[in-house]
Homo-oligomer: A and B are copies of this chain.
Amino acid sequence: MPLARIDLVKGKDEKYRQEIGRVVYEALTGVGVPQDDRFQIVTEHDAANFLFAPDYLGIHRSPELVMIQITWNAGRTVQQKQALFRAIADGLHEAVGLRREDVFINLVEVAKKNWSFGNGIAQYAV
């Protein structure tokens, strides 16, 4: 179910982008998302179109910033969300050397009935 939009600046090779996808997927399964429930869209941007404040909340961001927006079901606890954030930031640091400061994450929560995984059926509404 989670639909993850992953946005970053142009210039990273395919291996790097694939690793980001893998880390986000594994972090999600680590907090209870089912195996194989993976839907991710990576979009690369010109720096001029990827705009952010480098120091909001005293966190120092670089042009390597990755913005990750995940739509998933409502109902996860704050502990699960915190574990997810930590797993993504740690995982990206380990996998591709991204600074943890350069990981921005936002979660959008929806009802279970709001998904169709194919065949025109709301599989989770049953």
Contact = CB atoms under 8 A, between A and B. Distances in A.
B49 A116 contact: no
A110 B113 contact: no
Instruction: Count copies of this chain in the complex.
Output: 3
Interface in A76-126: 78, 81-82, 85-90, 100-111, 113-123, 125
A24 to B, nearest CB: 9
Q: How large is the interface on A (under 10, 10 to 19, 20 to 34, 35 or more residues)?
A: 35 or more
A115 B121 contact: no
Interface of A: 3, 7, 14, 17-18, 21, 25, 34, 36-45, 48-53, 55-57, 59, 61, 67, 69, 71, 78, 81-82, 85-90, 100-111, 113-123, 125
